[in-house]
Structure formats: structure tokens, C-alpha cells
Amino acid sequence: MMLCALTSFSQANPVAKDTAVFKQNYGLRIGGDIGKLVRSFLDDDYKGFEVNGDYRLTKKLYLAGELGIEEKTTTTDYLNTTANGSYFKAGVDYNSYVNWLDMENMIYGGFRVGVSAFSQTLNSFTVYNTDQYWNEQFTNSTSQEFKGLSAIWTELIFGIKVEVFNHLYIGLNGQLKVMITQDEPVNFANLYVPGFNKIYDSGRLGFGYGYTVSYLIPIFKKNKVVVPEE
Amino acid sequence: MKKFSLLVILIILIGTSCERDDICAETTTTTPHLIIRFYDIDEQDNTKQVRLLTVNGVDPEGNVLENIVTNTSTDSIVLPLRFQNENIVTASIFELKRDSDFDTDTNDTTLSNTDIIVVSYTPEFVYVSRACGYKSVFNDTQNTLVIDSDNWIFSYEIINPTIENENSAHIILYH
């Protein structure tokens, strides 16, 4: 195939005699996060799914976004709370991987802005009291729901996407998030925000990961010219 | 081949999501104790030690519980407060025994003197953090001295009716 491309273009373009040209697929790649799907089956405290997509703008630049729903119950020694909601993230990915010949794999870094709309249900809590002299540890089991909460954050994403079959890709990525703003429930706090994941006491940082399977719907092709090394 | 090894790494990583241990730090202000200081009835600006003080809690059924303070000469005590439901006036009862040794020593003419105080307040639950959850603070604190034939505590003063930290005294007892 390489030779075929070489010969067909060597006549049309007599100047670049030693170059090879490959067709590159441009189009919409749509997939889902199988990590979240697997976790939904294995983890009783988690239900979630994410649809993700990207659209190739240039040789290296992709428009990218994710849409997902999550329900996560967080249990600590003194609290039990459930976050439930949906999120949307949008941004760009930049492919830093120089592909060999006609391959279209990615090692990429990207940027996202994420928004989430969710509710927080405080299922139960035990009042923290270091002194149990009276032996009357108090636990409140009256569930309390805080609705209509939202959050906005930014994230850096790093990952790889590998074409395992024709147009079918698997990928994994890691996300570093920084919370910009979030609605805090009255006399409570968000311990988990769908899309942002766990909220730490210590600060605004959050972490995430994804395992994706996606399919590329080719829309058009562009030529990629490769100059063989001497 | 590379693709398959990648898949293996991927599957291994699925199972390992790291959760940091969330431990409530001791330095965090959580449910506070009641702090009582003893002042001199004659010179009310001065603290005054109580000789060999023993303090016990008394539960709502009237049972005297174990010692909180034992045979200690001191001018301040730190007491745990009872609480159950939020926003419901709750009381803690304490027995304060002065000269704890007088009941047990060989001198029959001297006796220990026990006074009872009833501290009431309204608990309010306040969110602290992921690690500590909620604490209780105590609002509208009031104190009652149970009058007996021979009180060693003469009067009291509520310095801080809102008990939300342990930085300073909430109640002063004069003796």
C-alpha cells in the first residue's frame, strides 16, 4: 500500500519524488467510558456512564467533549451522603504523537471546562464527639436532600487513543481538575460532584480517569505527506 | 502486541482507585466541652482554687456516673455535655464535691461538701469537614445551682452562653 501510494503520487507531483502520501481520516469519533460501566456493576455505591466524542479539526487538534451521569454514595466514619447528577465537559485535545506511516494513534494532552448539575442527599450522620462520657453517641438518620446544585471546573487531560481495529479505538486518560465555583449546601458540603469526582478537604484539586472505547465515523480524508529519512 | 499489553495495564488500573484516609485532625475544633472557672466570692476578679475537688456526672435517671475530676485542687474544670436531638433543650447534671478527703479521713468533725449544678442548653449541629462530619455546639446556656443546707458555691455567672470552642471559660462559679 505504501509503495502504491508512492508510485501514484510520484507522477502527479514530480518535485517531491522521495515522499509518500497517506490518507488521513477526519471525522467524528464517538464512544463511551467502559471504566464507569464496569465500576457501575462492581461497586454498589456507584452508578455512572459517560459518552465522549471528538472531532478532528487539523492534523493535531481535536474538539473534544464528554457528557455523563453519575450517582455516588460516599461513606465516612461520620457521614453517609449521595451525590446524583449529570455533567458536560468541552475543550480541545492536542495530539503530540508523530504517527508512523498511515497510523492514527494519539498521545494527547487537552483542556476542558466542565459543568455539573446535581443534588446532594445527606442520608445520615453521627455527631463527632471525642468525649463519650455520657455514652450517648448521637446519629441522625433523617435523610435531607439539597437540590439544584451546580459546579464549574477546569481540567487538564492526558491520555492515549489506539486504533485496535479499523476505526475502533481504545483509550485511557487521566484528568487533573481545579474547581472554580460550586454551590455548597447549607450547613453541609459537597463530598462528590458528578464529573469532578471526590472533593478533598484540603483544596480545590480533583482527579479522574477514563477508559474509553470509541468509533471513528470518517467524514473526509486529507493527505499526509511523509518524507522518508535518508 | 503493544496494544494487548496496553489493554492489560488498562484492566489492572480499573480496579485500583486510590482513596486517601480521611482522619479528623486533633487540632480541628469539634464538639466542645464546657469550661468552668472558679473565682473568689470576696474578690471577684481573682480565681480561687477549690480544695480537692471531685466531679461526677448524673444521668437523667439519677445515677451518679464515674469521676470526671478526682481529688484535684484546681480553679478550672472541663466537662462533657450530653446531647441527643438538635434544637431540643438538654440538661447535664454535675455533682461537685469539695474537700473530697474529709469523708474518708479519720476526723469525724469534718465532712466533704457536695453541690449540684444543672447546666442546660440547646444543641446545634454544625458541619465541620469531610473527615470530622458534624459537631455539636451549645446555645443559650443556662446554669442552675441546686440549693441545699450548706452550699459551698455561692453564685455563678454565664460568661459565654454559646459554647462553640474551648478557648475560654463559659461559666464562672464563685465560692
A203-225 tens-digit pLDDT: 889 999 999 999 999 888 887 77
Average pLDDT in chain B: 87
- ipTM rounded to 2 decimals: 0.78
Burial of A76-93, coded b for 16+ CB within 10 Å and e otherwise, reads bebbbbbbbbebebebbb
B4 pLDDT higher than 70: no
| Structure confidence by residue, pLDDT tens digits, A83-102 | 999 999 999 999 988 877 77
Among candidates B31, B80, B134 on the partner chain, residue whose Cβ is nearest the Cβ of A125: B134
More confident residue, B109 or B43: B43
Tell me which of B10, B93, B94, B134 to substitute to probe the interface with A (most A C-beta atoms closer than 10 Å).
B134
Q: Which residues does A contribute to its contact with B (CB < 8 Å)?
A: 35, 38-39, 76-79, 125-131, 133-134, 136, 138, 140, 160, 162, 164, 170, 172, 187-189, 191, 198-201, 209, 211
Q: Which of A42, A128, A163, A172 to mutate to test the interface with B (most CBs of B within 10 A)?
A: A128
Q: Is residue A165 pLDDT above 70, yes or no?
A: yes
C-alpha cell of B108? 469525724
| pLDDT in the model for residue B16 | 42
pLDDT of residue A30: 96
**B147 vs chain A: nearest CA distance in angstroms?**
25
Residue B112 vs residues A9, B77, B120: alpha-carbon distances, Å: 111, 18, 26
CB pairs under 8 A between A and B: 97
B4 neighbourhood in chain A, CB within 8 Å: none
